Structure 1
Amino acid sequence: MADKDESLQTCTLPLSRVKTIMKSSPDVSCISQEALFLAGKATELFIQSLAQVSLEKSTDKKSLQYRDLAEVVNSIDTLQFLQDIVPKKITAREFFEMLKQNEDEDEET
Structure 2
Amino acid sequence: MTTRSTPTKNEERLYCEELFRELKLPADRIKTVMRSSPDVEKLTTDSLYIMTKATEMFIRDLARRAHASSGKENTIDYKHIADVVQSESAFEFVREMVPHKITFRQYKEMKRQKDKLKKGK
Identical residues among aligned pairs (%):
36
Q: Which amino acid aligns with 1:73?
A: V
The count of corresponding residues between Structure 1 and Structure 2 is 104
What TM-score, normalized to structure 1? 0.89
The alpha-carbon deviation at position 103 of structure 1 amounts to 0.6
Q: Which amino acid aligns with 2:71?
A: T
Distance 1:51 1:75 in 2: 14
Distance 2:85 2:78 in 1: 11
* Aligned 8 A contact 2:23 2:52 in 1: yes
What TM-score, normalized to structure 2? 0.80
Distance 2:96 2:30 in 1: 21
Distance 2:79 2:31 in 1: 30
Change (3 A) 1:22 1:7: closer
Map Cα deviations across residues 83-102 of structure 1 (whole Å, 9 max, x no partner).
Answer: 12111000000000000000
Structure 1 stretches lacking a partner, 5+ long: 1-5
Name 2:8's counterpart in structure 1: none
The alpha-carbon deviation at position 64 of structure 1 amounts to 0.4
Structure 2 stretches lacking a partner, 5+ long: 1-17
The alpha-carbon deviation at position 80 of structure 1 amounts to 1.5
The alpha-carbon deviation at position 45 of structure 1 amounts to 0.7
- The structure 2 residue matched to 1:27, chosen from 12, 31, 39, is 39
Q: Which amino acid aligns with 1:17?
A: R
The RMSD of aligned alpha carbons is 1.8
The alpha-carbon deviation at position 7 of structure 1 amounts to 8.7
Change (3 A) 1:50 1:7: farther
For CA contacts below 8 A with separation 6 or more, give which structure has more relative contact order.
Answer: 1
The alpha-carbon deviation at position 61 of structure 1 amounts to 2.6
Name 2:59's counterpart in structure 1: 47
Name 2:22's counterpart in structure 1: 10
